[in-house]
Structure 1
Amino acid sequence: MADNGTVGRVQTMMCTPADPKGQGDPTQDRLEELSQRYANHASGKVPLPPEESLWLRGEIDRLSQLVTPGQPNIWGDYSAAEKHYMTQQAEQQQRNANNIGMAFLGPFFGAPMAAARAVGAPEPVVEKLGELGINLASAVSLRGIGGGRVIEPVAQRNGNPVLMSGPMGGRNGVVVRKRTYDAKDFLSEHAYKRHGNDPDKPSKPNHTRYSENVDPKKIANETINNPDKVEKLYDANGNHYATKYSKDMGYNISQPPVNSSQSRVFINHVDPTRSTQFPFGK
């Protein structure tokens, strides 16, 4: 590593019987090319926009691990432009996440978020109000009579409501509705098409679908609001692009033949349409 924070490498290529033209390793060649581009940027010779210089850092790190596994690069500090760009990206990602939250909570429970956004509140404030909305929604939908047990009408059978309780109740006294659901009950159209209940497409361990006896929207809400585990996912440039929520619901939520009580929710902060939810197959 040079003193100016650039990546410096020296490549020696020799013609051998196995490599008669001295073409070298394509990965090493690409690494050398990108390293030189970054060196020119860092020295001021060929300045790059921050999104490109950050991409170069990530790609150089990736290729370096292929060429010399386990040997990390030592980078200089981010430039002012790079820091500003990353701050903008983080703010946009949080705004996208809040947009998902408002859509998921609906016009009533998402109203505090919308009102805060309308008066120009910072996105962290909007996010906190979203947490309040989730708590209110959970309080309304998950607390019922009988010591917290919820018993709801869930479908029409011969014109009469069908009630579900007892064995279908999960941990915390949660009971979910049995009904026909659609894309509005999922975080995204992608999640609905891939993981919605479909009698003609049985669940597989690597491609699960929700049971007809559960409410995907409530399960996702409970998973986000009371997770067993939360993980932040970062891309090669160190940008927080998604958050993963995990929860054991305590009862089967998967369409047969897979039996799973594990709920997973992925919130994609870069592309909300790729956010998803599903029963985790083992």
Structure 2
Amino acid sequence: MPFIRRNSTGLSGLNLSNRKVITDLQRWYIPAIGEFVGTAMFLYLAVGGADAVSRGTTEGTGVLGVAFAFGMGLMVTAWAFGRISGAMFNPAITLSCLITGNLSLLKAGMYLICQLLGACLGVAMARGTTPDSAKIGVINYLHNGESIARGFFLEFWLTCILCFVYLMTTEERAKSNFMAPLPIGFTLFSCHLFATRYTNASINPARAFATSLVAREFTPDHWIFWVGPFGGGITAAALYIFFCYFDFDIVTAANRAQHRAEVAAAPGEIVKVDVYDINKTSRGIGSSTGNQVGPAPGGEAYRRA
């Protein structure tokens, strides 16, 4: 069985000599537990915080408080669990990562189960640790004149935006980018500012299921909060695949190199850009031509004609 030996002097000299072998089983259940606990913590903070800051306020102020509670709750828990499980906390994001190849089918299924269970635990704890819990875990439903079609597409497009931001900030830009939770949290904040008034802003099937289960109330339009987010997750994955297929990163590098070359060129001088993927050239797959000046950061090079 493949294993990884861990340095026994890690964690500031703590002796880990009896825990230095990482098995295949641990590689599965440690991220799963992280996703379970992270989802529970996120919804405990978000649902409980949303109730606390919106109780007794006007509608507009309440929406702002709810948006802050969910955005900040996701931000801090994603920072904590990002290196453990990827901090998805949302079956729609899990579906996007499955489609784009960032998760295997078995791991995606395991994450889905952990997210549903963790969401139920988080909402139940929020309801159980406050004295007046009548509003805690308010369910997602259509209100303020929102129709079924409008509510569906509202959940669809907002989830699409959230999933696309997740893919671009965690899977594409850099897996070690510790700032990724910041734009993800602000995206959820913006989504709640928009949708709380009309659907209570689910954008997360696990959250919609957990709040309805804890409240023991499933409305006839509950399906919207599953089909809409999952459709948005599929659309976000398709959009991400589209940009990757057409090498958006190389196109961006070409535009940056072209701009720098034009700034540095003499008046009337013709500048041609030669940009290549530095990862491919390092493996001997491709090469650049012409009189290079570089390569610049990101695998860029340009030449003067």
**What TM-score results when the alignment is normalised by the length of structure 1?**
0.24
Q: Which structure shows the higher helix fraction?
A: 2
Query: Considering only CA atoms, is the larger Rg found in Structure 1 or Structure 2?
Result: 1
Q: Which structure shows the higher strand fraction?
A: 1
Question: Taking CA–CA contacts closer than 8 Å with sequence separation of 6 or more, which of the two structures ends up with the larger relative contact order?
Answer: 2
